[in-house]
Structure 1
Amino acid sequence: NRVSAKCLLEIATKLQVPISFFYADIVTKDIVTKDHHALN
């Protein structure tokens, strides 16, 4: 599900965790690869 940045910030604030907490399982290599292909 998609959550807007504002809602994500509100949730993180209420849980007292950094926003990066919600992205802990994302592999950065996959993000870089996808971004690279999007630019070409």
Structure 2
Amino acid sequence: MKQCSSRSNWCLLSVIDQRLRIDTCRYLIEILSRRITGD
């Protein structure tokens, strides 16, 4: 039972990690585009 719960937790963490990476990428792209445009 412990293995199952740990696996589900790992799945949740991986999903959250993916979303965080996507958010950080968008954030970095926004900063870069602002610097390029001069804002």
TM range (shorter): 0.3 to 0.5
Q: Which has the higher contact order (CA 8 A, sep 6+)?
A: 1
- TM-score normalised over the length of structure 2: 0.33
Would you tell me which structure has more helix in proportion to its own residues? 2
| TM-score, normalization by structure 1 | 0.33
Larger Rg: 2
